Amino acid sequence: MDRRQFLTLSPDRNQSRNAASFARTDTGLGPYTGNWESQQWIHLLKRTLFGVTPANINAFKSMTMQQAVDTLLTAQPDPAPPVNNYGVDDTGVTPGATWVRAPLGSEMLERKRIDSYKAWWTGQMINQPTSIHEKMVLFWHNHFVTETSMVNDSRFIYQYNLTLRKHALGNFKALTKAITLDPAMLVYLNGYLNSKGAADENYARELHELFTVGKGPDSHYTEDDVRATARVLTGFRVDRTNIVSLFDTTQHDLTNKQFSGFYLNKVISGKTGQDGATELDNLLDIIFAQPEVAKFICRKLYRFFVYYDIDQATETNVIAPLAEIFRTSEFDIKTTLNALFTSEHFFDPLNMACLIKSPADFCIGICREYGIAFPSDYPSRYNAWTAIHNSAAAMLQDFGDPPLVAGWDAYYQAPSYHELWINTDTLPKRNKLSDSLVSTGGFAGLHIDTIAFASQLPHPEDPIALVSDSLDILYRVGVSDKVKAFLKNSIILFGQDPTSNFYWTDAWNTYKASPGNAAAKDNVESRLKALYKYIMDLSEYQLS
């Protein structure tokens, strides 16, 4: 599955690289000036969206690269909130009404609301517009992790999602402050228990280690920094009635907080009253002055959107200049992503089709790229969203519940990283989902309409074009002429004379002329189902 290694060893690829260099690629953050064609725009779309539809591709054909990136980096408004799809609610929320501002329910009711939340969030990903916004919400969820199973307050969990949405393409420093004060995070990492005389270091430690400066070789924060941070953050509490956080002045540590040489020996003077809450701003100023913050976040963005392996050439040519852009823009996320997505490095062929799809990319992507129709009534729609969520969870990505505060293993666990998504348990589950969706019986009331999908292609009546155009959308790595010939001759033509393409053309045109003809429809549909089943069962379909 490591296509990059194969390409690196290719003699043709090596001709364009410095023979004395051991770097995977020497491309950097300079502006991309090469061809802007289907290979490039599909790569950009695949990495920034969950799946790519024929409509997406057609819309981007007329755009310049910068127009395409600007479109993708357009922030979206908050969607309508989740609703009661679970029935009886002893707090008075009627079916179809939202529960996000309702009183806290019983433990059983909270679990039902959390299931409603997970279904709703899955639906937002499936229905994402042509914007990276939804994918960035998932990225930040993996960075600023909370777990629904530990927060156990559906209202807080929903508010946390809104916090991520509000800042997903905004300012990282502002996002860090908002998350620090977010009720779900205050509960998840015990911030609401942090008091003078009994400082809780749980969130303070993760703020340094996982959220800002990281654990890289140049990150040298100390245990004293963690303790000082915990004391800065004493006094923050949660209000479960008004669903907000607040500051209890009586529980705030009023003493001065000393930081180490890594943070330039800065001191935060203890403040009294409501001014004590402003020590958080002082703390973030101290942390964000450290260059490691920008480098750490840029490495995470790189691994999520480009590739997991960061060698010295990538560190020098991409991470360092990208981190400088991040710092000089005062931690503007949109500016930083724009630099990455318009760079020669991002469009380097070695960075294409080299990531294994996450369960989100696989499960959400298959729904989006085939344009799977979901029920119009909310109970059935939520049930279908739940089925897709549960499929992703079974493949190791449970939206709302990463396994640890560090996030999902595949995004950080060296040396395997994304390869952890595929194992003897998860790969059969991927194949089973795609097989079920393309079958007559479907999956959880959902099915792939292969005729509708093929009809969006430029020339579905031409078997050669049908196979080629389908592979261009569904694969990110080329296949051999032998595979293409098999798909055309053995599946589309049903073993007919391979030079007689008219067999398929006649079948397609007959159906289009009389779509109510059941025999004509079955003739076309059975071949298309076999085609797309075969395509999705090959390993190439797992690559992004």
Q: Are 325 and 301 in contact (CB under 8 A)?
A: no
pLDDT in tens, 489-511: 999 998 888 888 999 999 999 99
Res 402 pLDDT > 60: yes
The domain locations on the chain are 107-293, 359-542
- Residue of 368, 369, 538, 352 whose CA lies nearest to 470: 369
The Cα 360–Cα 383 span in angstroms is 18
Tell me the mean pLDDT in the region 472-481. 91
pLDDT in tens, 40-84: 999 999 999 999 999 999 999 999 999 999 999 999 999 999 999
Residue type, 83: V
- 396 conformational bin, left if phi > 0, alpha if psi -120 to 50, beta if neither: left
- For residue 257, what are the contacts with CB-CB under 8 A and spacing of at least 6? 228, 229, 231, 232, 267, 268, 270, 279, 283
Provide the percentage of residues in the chain whose pLDDT is more than 70. Answer: 96
Q: What are phi and psi of 85, to 5 degrees?
A: -110, 10
Tell me the mean pLDDT in the region 185-190. 98
First to last CA, the chain: 11
- Residue of 256, 280, 276 whose CA lies nearest to 266: 256
pTM of the complete model: 0.95
Tell me the mean pLDDT in the region 149-155. 97
